[in-house]
Amino acid sequence: MIEGTCHCGAVRWQFDGQPDGPTACNCTVCRRYGGVLWVYG
């Protein structure tokens, strides 16, 4: 089980499975603070 939230914490999610592979995030927070990898479910 993979869990996460948006950067303000207002939205939470869970993923029960194996993601295919990561993608570089391009949101304003990640662009400002160094980038994060994320996956499609």
pLDDT tens figures, 15-37: 888 877 777 777 787 777 776 67
First CA to last CA distance, the chain? 12
Top pLDDT among 21 and 39 is at 21
Q: Is 70 exceeded by the pLDDT of residue 39?
A: no
Q: Whole-model pTM?
A: 0.44
Q: How many domains does the chain have?
A: 1
Instruction: Determine the structural domain holding residue 20 and report its residue range.
Output: 2-39
- Can you read off the two tokens belonging to residue 8? 């303000």
CA-to-CA distance for 27 and 18, rounded, in angstroms?
Answer: 23
